[in-house]
């Protein structure tokens, strides 16, 4: 009798040959996170954050902190109107001169107690009091803003990269004591995103070209793997992430590195059921603690052939693993910020104009149950042999409401699987015996949970089976 013990449960792996995949790598992992490490628990839910303002889709969320270290505002852009919330808790209020181009994203940056914003079409504006904006004289119309070397840099609507006078976000004059100027970014396409990395300013074009600027010289990074979605670019510990049509990339300052091989079939596949083409240009993302969260919409990988609607790709930078989330309310904008108590908060907005806050104590998505699904394919370390399945043990936290189902097959074709519900695991340890003569080469195991009141932690499972010689 052979025994297989599976723990240290990893992230999704849909890229590697199934015969080479570790049995502890799930082919589906929906709405879970790795806590504790090597186990999987149900992710936190969320609650509403402030009101709906004008009820239009939330396009942007961001914050502005004053130099006093205590005063800040959280902003939302919806329906072409910019709203602010003092300290991130007061009701949404319309900012003075806060009408922006409807549907456009607002880029922002901060220099010496001044917040400056641009929407790629209307006037660039700034504020020092956080509540009312002034048109910034001489500033270019810009699609992206970034503070670098004590100046505000602005990516223009074509290929011109502008910068303000030193130390002054509102001074864009090019004569007298002002030293504002511009430079041309070569190559095809137009500027789409600028950001800092490794003490350099990166200027990205919508063709994937990337250039480095150090204040004196412009260097071609010799790549076309830059971001296709400007709103997907975020950073964790001076390491950037973004979405490109070839996958999710990480960037430490040298060359972009493809990090999404494990979930390539979810990004693109031969059936054309990965990320929808237009989403590559618009997908919003956020970095929260050590997670990169990318909202990509409906995806269907070509291995499991399972569709995840309103999918969020979650990459844990600390653990180097991918999982999938799905919210009851699909994010159209994200923001991670420190609240008045210094606690890192994650908020997002949806197409109905409501914002939400992730809450570690919540077991629901704003009163909706969180659906957890995990699925594994087990071959007993002998994929070419039949196995007589005997007993399966599954280990959870006591009081959970998870159910375990199995399906036996001699192929990887999931469409023909017949699932058998083995039972629940409320006690914390589920011991399930197979009917006599339960034989197959592969065993599919599914874990399902959709409660509104129970915690869920899956530690692993053990399997007892007899490998058949003939």
Q: Helix, strand or coil for residue 416?
A: helix
Instruction: State the CATH number of the domain containing residue 14.
Output: 2.60.120.260
pLDDT-derived band at 1 (thresholds 50, 70, 90) equals low
Per-residue pLDDT, 177? 87
Quick: pLDDT tens for 209-244. Answer: 999 999 999 999 999 999 999 999 999 989 999 999
Per-residue pLDDT, 437? 86
Say whether pLDDT at 149 is over 90.
yes
pTM of the model: 0.95
Per-residue pLDDT, 381? 80
In a domain, 405, yes or no: yes
In a domain, 22, yes or no: yes
Per-residue pLDDT, 7? 85
User: Looking at residue 16, what DSSP letter applies?
Assistant: S
In a domain, 428, yes or no: yes
In a domain, 441, yes or no: yes
Of 414 and 267, the structure prediction assigns the larger pLDDT to: 267
Contacts of 91 (CB under 8 A, 6+ apart): 50, 51, 85
Backbone φ and ψ of 118, nearest 5°: -150, 150
Per-residue pLDDT, 382? 84
In a domain, 365, yes or no: no
Region 363-387: what's the mean pLDDT? 92
In a domain, 229, yes or no: no
Question: Where does residue 85 fall: left (phi above 0), alpha (psi -120 to 50 degrees), or beta otherwise?
Answer: beta
Domain that holds residue 412: 2-43+372-467
Mean pLDDT of the chain: 95
Question: DSSP string of 269-307?
Answer: -TTS-SS-TTHHHH--EEEETTEEEEEEEEEE-TTT--E
User: Looking at residue 93, what DSSP letter applies?
Assistant: E
pLDDT-derived band at 6 (thresholds 50, 70, 90) equals confident
Percent of the chain with pLDDT over 70: 100
Per-residue pLDDT, 112? 92
Percent of the chain with pLDDT over 90: 89
Region 61-70: what's the mean pLDDT? 96
Say whether pLDDT at 44 is over 90.
yes
Total domains, the chain: 1
Per-residue pLDDT, 408? 95
Contacts of 175 (CB under 8 A, 6+ apart): none
- Angle, vertex CA 235, rays to CA 234 and CA 237, nearest 5: 170
Task: Tell which residue, 154, 334, 150, 148, has the closest CA to residue 234.
Answer: 334
Per-residue pLDDT, 86? 98
- Angle, vertex CA 294, rays to CA 232 and CA 290, nearest 5: 95
Quick: pLDDT tens for 297-321. Answer: 999 998 889 999 999 999 999 999 9
Per-residue pLDDT, 183? 96
pLDDT-derived band at 415 (thresholds 50, 70, 90) equals confident
* Cis before 409? omega within 30: no
Tally helices (H) and strands (E) across the chain. 2, 42
Say whether pLDDT at 115 is over 80.
yes
pLDDT-derived band at 103 (thresholds 50, 70, 90) equals very high
In a domain, 436, yes or no: yes
Per-residue pLDDT, 207? 96
In a domain, 377, yes or no: yes
pLDDT-derived band at 77 (thresholds 50, 70, 90) equals very high
Region 80-98: what's the mean pLDDT? 97
Quick: pLDDT tens for 439-461. Answer: 999 999 999 999 999 999 999 99
């Amino acid at each position: 009798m052979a025994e297989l013990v599976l723990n240290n449960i990893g992230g999704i792996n849909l890229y590697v040959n199934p015969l080479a995949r570790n049995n502890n790598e799930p082919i589906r992992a929906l709405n879970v996170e790795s806590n504790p490490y090597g186990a999987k628990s149900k992710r936190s839910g969320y609650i509403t954050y402030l009101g709906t303002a004008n009820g239009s889709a939330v396009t942007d969320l961001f914050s502005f902190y004053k130099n006093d270290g205590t005063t800040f505002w959280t902003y939302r852009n919806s329906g072409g109107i910019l709203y602010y919330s003092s300290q991130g808790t007061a009701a949404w209020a319309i900012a003075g001169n806060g009408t922006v181009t409807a549907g456009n994203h607002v880029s922002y940056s901060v220099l010496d107690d001044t917040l400056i914003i641009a929407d790629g079409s209307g006037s660039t504006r700034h504020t020092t009091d956080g509540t009312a904006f002034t048109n910034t004289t001489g500033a270019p119309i810009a699609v992206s803003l970034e503070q670098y070397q004590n100046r505000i840099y602005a990516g223009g609507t074509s290929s011109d990269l502008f910068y303000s006078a030193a130390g002054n976000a509102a001074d864009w004059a090019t004569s007298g004591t002002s030293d504002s100027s511009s430079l041309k970014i070569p190559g095809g396409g137009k500027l789409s995103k600028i950001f800092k990395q490794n003490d350099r300013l990166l200027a990205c074009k919508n063709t994937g070209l990337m250039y480095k600027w150090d204040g004196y010289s412009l260097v071609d990074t010799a790549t076309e793997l830059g971001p296709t979605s400007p709103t997907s670019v975020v950073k964790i510990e001076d390491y950037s992430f973004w979405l490109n049509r070839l996958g999710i990339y990480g960037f430490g300052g040298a060359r972009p590195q493809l990090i999404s091989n494990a979930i390539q079939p979810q990004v693109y596949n031969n059936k054309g059921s990965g990320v929808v083409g237009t989403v590559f240009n618009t997908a919003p993302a956020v970095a929260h603690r050590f997670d990169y969260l990318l909202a990509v919409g409906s995806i269907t990988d070509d291995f499991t052939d399972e569709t995840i609607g309103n999918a969020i790709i979650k990459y844990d930078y600390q653990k180097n693993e991918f999982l999938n989330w799905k919210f009851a309310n699909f994010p159209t904008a994200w923001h991670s910020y420190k609240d008045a108590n210094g606690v890192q908060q994650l908020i997002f907005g949806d197409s109905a104009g409501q914002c939400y806050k992730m809450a570690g104590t919540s077991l629901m998505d704003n009163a909706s149950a969180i659906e957890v699904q995990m699925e594994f394919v087990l071959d007993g370390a002998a994929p070419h042999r039949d196995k007589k399945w005997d007993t399966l043990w599954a280990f959870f936290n006591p009081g959970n409401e998870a159910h375990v189902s199995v399906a036996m097959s001699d192929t990887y074709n999931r469409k023909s699987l017949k699932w058998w519900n083995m039972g629940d695991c409320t006690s914390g340890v589920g011991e399930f015996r197979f009917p006599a003569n339960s034989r197959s080469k592969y065993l599919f195991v599914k874990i399902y949970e959709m409660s509104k009141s129970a915690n869920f932690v899956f530690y692993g499972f053990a399997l007892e089976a007899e490998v058949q010689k003939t």
